[in-house]
A and B are shown apart, each in its own frame.
Chain A
C-alpha cells in the first residue's frame, strides 16, 4: 500500500461551477451590524468573505476605541497581530527586470495606488487582527493613516501583546504610537536610517545583483520536459 498507486497523468479537473451568492454568513453579518452601530460615524467600510473572514475599516481617530469595543463587547480577547501596509507601489518597479519576466504583456508595473479589501484612501494603512476563541471568529481591522510619518493611538492598553508589534511597525514603517510605554527599535540598531518595509526603501541586494529571472520552473508531476521551452531558459 505504500507504493504510489497514483497515476500522475490523471489530473483532476477543477470543478468550475461558480459559487453563486447563496452563502449568507449570519455570524459575521451580525457582527458587522453590531460594530457599525457601536462605532457610528467612525466606521467606514467592511467586507465579508462568507464562512471565511471579515474585514472592517475605521477612522484613524477611532483606532484604539475599536480595540476596546472588540475586546469588551465582542469577546475578541485573543490578540493575533498588528502591522501596517504601504500602498504606494515601489518606485523601483517590480525589481524583476530580467527579459524573461517582461515577455508577459499582461503584467504591468503599477504606479498608482490601488487598495485592497475594504478599500482605502491614504498611503499607509494599519492592519490588525484579533480573534474570539469562543465563537471561533477573527476580524481584520484596518485604518487609514494621515501623512508621511503618521501617528496613531496605541493598542497596548487593551492588548498588552501589541507592544512589540507596534515597536516593529514603528521601525519598519515609520509610524509612531501615542502613549506607547517603550517606543524604541525592536530589531534594528538605534542608528539605523530608513524604514525597511516601506516600498520606497531599496532592497540593496537587488541593486548589487540583478534578478536573474525565472530560471528553474519545476515540472508539475506528469509534465514532460519539452514544455520547458516556453520558459525560454532551457539549456
Chain B
C-alpha cells in the first residue's frame, strides 16, 4: 500500500521534474502570489503565500489566525455546561459533532454514562451533522473547480438536514443540545418519518453528485493524480478522517475504539481508497455520506425507549483528573484533553481539532504542483477555518 503510493508519488515528481526542465528553457520568472485571505469558497479567512516559479509552486506558507477566538483560554473561565456553547463554533458546519467528545470526556471524569436512548439520539444527530457538513463539501469542491451547479444542489439538500436538526434541538447551526449525562430533549413527534424522507433526498443527491461530478471528465482530469499523500506521511502529519482513509489507511474511530456512541451496534462499512489523491478524497467522502444515511436509517428503526438523562447533580463539578476523548468528526479526529481540579470550571482544555492537522500538510503537499492544482488540493483537503483557528 505504502510502496504503491510512493511509486505514484515518484512518477508524479518525475513528470513534474521533466516539466520543470522545460520551464528553465523557457526562462520562467519567480513571483509571490497571495491566495486569500478573503475568498467566498474558503469557509473563512485563510491566506496562503505561494511562491511561484513560472506556473509551479516553489513553496506555500499558510497564514492563520484571522479567526482565532481563544477557546482554550475561554474554557478556563466557563463552567462545563457552558463550554458546549463555545465549542459549537469550532466546526460550524457540523456543530453538534463538536459537543460530543467534550461531553464524553467530562462524563468519563464524572463516571457517568448516558442512558441508551440518549446515546442513540446522540449518534443520530452526530451522523446528521456529518451529512450536513459533507454534503456541502461535495458541492463546494465542484464549485472551486469551476462547476457552479452542484453547490446549489448541495445548499438545497443540506437545508433539509438542517431542518431536521433544528426540529430536535432548536438550532440550525449551533444546537448546544448535548448535556453531561444525556441530551436536553427527546425527539419531537413525527421526526422519525420526516427524517426518513430526508435520507431519501440525500441518497438521491449522492446519485446526482456521482453523475454530475465524479463521472465528469474535467473533474477527473483535474483531481486524479493531483496532491498525492502517501499513508505514512499523512499519519506523521496527523491527517485523519476521510483524508487519511483516501490514502488507504483503514482506520475509523467510529469502528475502532470509539467510546460513548453506538456505531458498533450498526451495520455499516468503512470506505478507503488506495490512490491518496484529490479524487480519492472526494470519492471517499461521497461514500461516507451514503454510509451515514444508512446508519441514521438504522438508528431511526432501532432507537430504544427509556430515559434521556442520567442522574447528574444540578451544579456540575467534575472530579479531579485528566481525560482525553476523541471521536471521528466530519472533518476528521476531534478530541478534547480535559484537566479538572474538581472545580466548576476546567483547569485546562486542549482542543485537538481535525482541520489544524489536516492543513498542516499543505506546505509539503503543495510543493511542486501547478497553480490550478493548488485549488483542487486545498478544496479536497476540506478544512473549516473555525476548526483551524479555534
Contact = CB atoms under 8 A, between A and B. Distances in A.
A129 B65 contact: no
Interface in B57-76: 64-65, 68, 70, 72-74, 76
A6 B306 contact: yes
A44 B192 CA distance: 54
A161 B238 contact: yes
B155 interface: no
A186 B305 contact: no
Q: Which of A55, A127, A201 has the most CB of B within 10 A?
A: A127
B115 interface: yes
A197 B305 contact: no
Interface stretch (A33-41, A57-65, A77-85, A143-151): A77-85
Contacts of B206: none
A96 B344 contact: yes
A136 interface: yes
A85 B93 CA distance: 30
A107 interface: yes
Q: Which of A53, A78, A110, A211 has the most CB of B within 10 A?
A: A78
Given A188-B65, A206-B77, A6 B308 contact: yes
A116 B343 contact: no
A50 interface: no
Contacts, number: 172
Interface stretch (B19-27, B140-148, B271-279, B334-342): B334-342
A116 B73 contact: no
B372 interface: no
Nearest to B340: A116
A185 B227 CA distance: 27
B152 interface: no
B249 interface: yes
B211 to A, nearest CB: 33
Interface in B347-373: 348, 350, 352, 356-357, 360-361, 364
Contacts of A227: 314
A77 B337 contact: no
A6 B117 contact: yes
A214 B164 CA distance: 31
A77 B235 contact: yes
A161 B311 contact: no
Given A101-B344, A187-B65, A80 B352 contact: yes
Contacts of A164: 356, 360
B64 A220 contact: no
Interface string B47-89: 0000000000000000011001010111011010100000000
Contact of A186 (B64, B81, B343): B64
Interface in B284-310: 305-310
Nearest to B314: A217
**By DSSP majority rule, is chain A's interface helix, strand, loop, or mixed?**
loop
A160 B72 CA distance: 23
Given A83-B350, A164-B360, A197-B73, A1 B112 contact: no
Contact of B238 (A79, A117, A230): A79
Contacts of B322: 55, 116-117
A2 to B, nearest CB: 4
Interface in A212-235: 214, 217-218, 220-223, 227, 230-231
A14 interface: yes
Interface string B315-341: 101001111101000000101010101
A43 interface: no
A161 B191 contact: no
Interface string B218-230: 0000000000000
A22 interface: no
A221 B335 contact: no
Contacts of B216: none
Contact of B311 (A7, A14, A172, A217): A14
Contact of A116 (B79, B339, B344): B339
A117 B321 contact: yes
Given A10-B307, A161-B238, A83 B344 contact: no
Given A80-B326, A107-B317, A116-B320, 20 more contacts: A2-B187, A6-B186, A8-B309, A14-B310, A79-B235, A79-B236, A79-B238, A85-B339, A94-B344, A95-B77, A96-B345, A158-B236, A161-B239, A164-B356, A187-B64, A203-B77, A206-B77, A217-B314, A220-B312, A227-B314
Interface of A: 1-8, 10-14, 52-53, 55, 77-81, 83, 85-86, 90, 94-96, 101, 104, 107, 110, 114, 116-117, 127, 129, 133, 136, 138, 140, 158-161, 163-164, 172, 185-189, 196-197, 201, 203, 206, 211, 214, 217-218, 220-223, 227, 230-231
5 contacts: A7-B307, A136-B257, A160-B233, A161-B239, A214-B79
